[in-house]
Amino acid sequence: MLDKNGIAKRIAQEVKDGYYVNLGIGIPTLVANFVREDIEVEFQSENGVLGMGPFPFEGEEDADVINAGKQTITTLPGASFFDSATSFGMIRGQHVDLTILGAMEVSEKGDIANWKIPGKMVKGMGGAMDLVASAENIIVAMMHTNRAGESKLLKNCSLPLTGVGCVKKIVTNMAVIEVTPKGFQLLERAPGVSVEAIISATEGELIIEAEIPEMNV
């Protein structure tokens, strides 16, 4: 079974040379720490920066340079700033190559729910609905089950949706799964996790073809 860093490490293998990447809050943010150093990648933050760098050293923070999580950041050589409409133009116009975000639920049709739990304080969707409706390449980073031990990979989402039919790949602490027209296809299992354990933790239909290799993390 992987921890959050393990999930991020596996997803980092999906980040290719020349990609512009948008990282969501939580596990996705950790992906930046594991991207190969011999490739060129630029991180976009939807509040208006491309070419995001690491957090600043203490005393060097700038209130005018933050990421979508409102954290102080730095920029790398070649970075640019832009307005919100331009930023979402990059996203909607599919200029961003890869979007990695968290989820509360994903369905076997690729629907995603990650913004609202009825009865609880609703904080809003921020840029999540724009991102999932537009990106061609969306990877969800999440734990396979919720705190109550219930599957987060469902036949149908029970929570209000963020987007429909948009998730392409899911990397959890247990498995790598591709969302196909036929449903969830199991591609890889986490080190030490059996196919049977993945089946029992997955509520949606799981397609298993041939031998399932262990992840290389």
Active site residues: 46
**209 scored as a contact of other proteins (CB under 8 A):** no
CA distance 85 to 122: 24
Judged by CB, which is closer to other proteins: 104, or 193? Answer: 104
Q: Out of 12, 31, 35, 91, name the contact with other proteins by CB under 8 A.
A: 91
Interface region with other proteins, contact rule CB under 8 A, candidates 30-38, 115-123, 139-147, 207-215? 115-123
- If binding is defined by CB under 8 A, does position 65 make contact with other proteins? yes
* Cα angle value 126/128/131 (rounded, 5°): 130
Does the protein bind other proteins through residue 51 (CB under 8 A)? no
**Among 77, 217, 200, which Cα is nearest to 144's?**
200
* Structural element, H or E, at residue 198: helix 195-200
User: Is 188 a residue that touches other proteins (CB under 8 A)?
Assistant: no
Is 120 a binding residue for other proteins by CB under 8 A? The answer is: no
Closest approach, Cβ 173 to other proteins, in A, equals 25
Structure token pair of residue 216: 């290389």
Shortest distance, CB of residue 136 to other proteins, whole angstroms?
11
Tell me if 108 contacts other proteins by CB under 8 A: no
181 lies in the site for other proteins, by CB under 8 A: no
Which residue is it, tokens 């919720």?
Answer: 146
**What type of residue sits at position 216?**
N
Tokens representing residue 141 in the block: 């980073």
Candidate ranges 52-60, 96-104, 142-150, 172-180; the one touching other proteins (CB under 8 A): 52-60
Q: Judged by CB under 8 A, does residue 210 bind other proteins?
A: no
Rounded to an integer, what distance in angstroms lies between the CA atom of residue 151 and that of residue 206?
A: 12
Three-class SS of 74-119: CEEEEEEECCHHHHHHHHHCCCCCEEEECCCEEECCCCEECCCCCC
Q: What is the DSSP string of 204-215?
A: S-EE--S--PBP
Note whether 140 binds other proteins by CB under 8 A. Answer: no
Residue from 18, 38, 77, 123 in contact with other proteins (CB under 8 A) = 123
Q: Does 26 bind other proteins (CB under 8 A)?
A: no
Enumerate binding residues for other proteins (CB under 8 A). Answer: 45-49, 54-58, 60-67, 69-73, 81-85, 87-88, 91-92, 111, 121-130, 133-134, 160-165
